[in-house]
Structure 1
Amino acid sequence: MDLKEIQNLIKFVAKSGASEVKLEMDDFKITIKTGEEGKGETTILQQVPMMGNTMQQPAMQQPVAQQVPVQEAEKPKADISDNYITVKSPIIGTFYRKPAPDKPTFVEVGADIKAGDVLCVIEAMKLFNEIESEVSGKIVKVLVDDSSPVEFDQPLFLVDPS
């Protein structure tokens, strides 16, 4: 994405009336915040060089048009999940729901858990770390797919403590 496309994006956001838009593509992340007087401010959070990926202008414009409604749709989700406790990853690694490929998963949605129960394993540097629950309750949702990479403090499970 070049400077001219970023400037056009800022103008589009300012005209749309949105106060903040976040755009995340494969090789960069941009947050645009508009002030009260309609002035645009751009913060480029991170640029990661990607090999073999090419950016196309139509691909850039479509996520921006969808970004504002997505933010509005996320607000009700936050209200629903306020009742739940989020179990987060304590380390960076690869998330596994099973102790081995031929074994059953540690927990399923709807399963009752107690503090100390193993919920999953995260492989980091060829070591498999068991992630234990710190709370008792019922698993409401698994937020990560099996065998996918996870970051530090990334939500893994939603638990209903009641």
Structure 2
Amino acid sequence: MSMDIKQIQDLIKFVAKSGVNEVSIEEQDFKITIKTNQEPTYVTASIPTVAPAPLPTAAPVAPVAEPVVPAAAAPTANEEANFITIKSPMIGTFYRSPGPDKPVFVNVGDEITPGKVLCIIEAMKLFNEIESEVSGKIVKILVNDAQPVEYDQPLFLVDPR
């Protein structure tokens, strides 16, 4: 039995989502080892390592094709200092709504209170509702729907009221 490229890509995605450091599979005619580090692995990962501390909140959602984004994001970082950042409590896949044909939990401009469901993070086929711990207004949603997220990755910016 050998794995095709699709199976290998699926396995890599699974390992990245699961949070394990290393997976090895050995069969008679092949061997595959997938190692991950626990740092977020984005195509734009070189930007956060050299950027000032506030910038990584904007970097993961920046399109790869726009190298101008880090410079443009710097002035907004100062404005964002007054906002509360709601971060992901786990590794998984971010969903804005409870289902494909259901309305989103929150939009930019929505008022939130503690206990309000903001999103779902799916990890290992478990759907975890993420509730707000703060009151305020959603200023920015930092992650796209169905995008993988890392532990402690910023998800929302909230203007506290």
**TM-score, normalised to structure 1's length?**
0.57
Alpha-carbon distance in 1 for matches of 2:112, 2:75 = 27
CA pair 26-110 structure 1, distance change in 2 beyond 3 A: closer
- Cross-structure match for 1:151: 150
Higher-Rg structure is 1
Q: Please, which runs of 5 or more residues in structure 2 have no aligned partner?
A: 1-40, 51-65
Cα deviation, 1:24-81, whole Å, max 9, x if unaligned, reads: 984984967xxxxxxxxxxxxxxxxxxxxxxxxxxxxxx9xx5xx7654433121110
- Cross-structure match for 1:92: 91
Matched residue type, 2:124 = M
- Cross-structure match for 1:161: 160
CA pair 118-27 structure 1, distance change in 2 beyond 3 A: closer
CA pair 102-72 structure 1, distance change in 2 beyond 3 A: closer
- Listed as ranges, the matches of 1:104-123 within 5 Å are 104-123=103-122
Alpha-carbon distance in 2 for matches of 1:115, 1:89 = 16
CA pair 99-83 structure 1, distance change in 2 beyond 3 A: same
- TM-superposed CA distance for 1:134, in Å, is 0.7
Alpha-carbon distance in 1 for matches of 2:42, 2:116 = 37
Please say if 1:79 is aligned against 2:78.
Answer: yes
- TM-superposed CA distance for 1:103, in Å, is 1.0
CA RMSD of aligned residues (A): 2.8
CA pair 141-27 structure 1, distance change in 2 beyond 3 A: closer
- Number of paired residues? 106
CA pair 124-82 structure 1, distance change in 2 beyond 3 A: same
CA pair 97-137 structure 1, distance change in 2 beyond 3 A: same
Matched residue type, 2:82 = N
CA pair 76-129 structure 1, distance change in 2 beyond 3 A: same
Alpha-carbon distance in 1 for matches of 2:132, 2:75 = 26
- Listed as ranges, the matches of 1:7-156 within 5 Å are 26=43, 29=46, 71-156=70-155
Q: Which runs of 4+ in 1 moved over 2 A?
A: 24-32, 69-75
Matched residue type, 1:135 = V
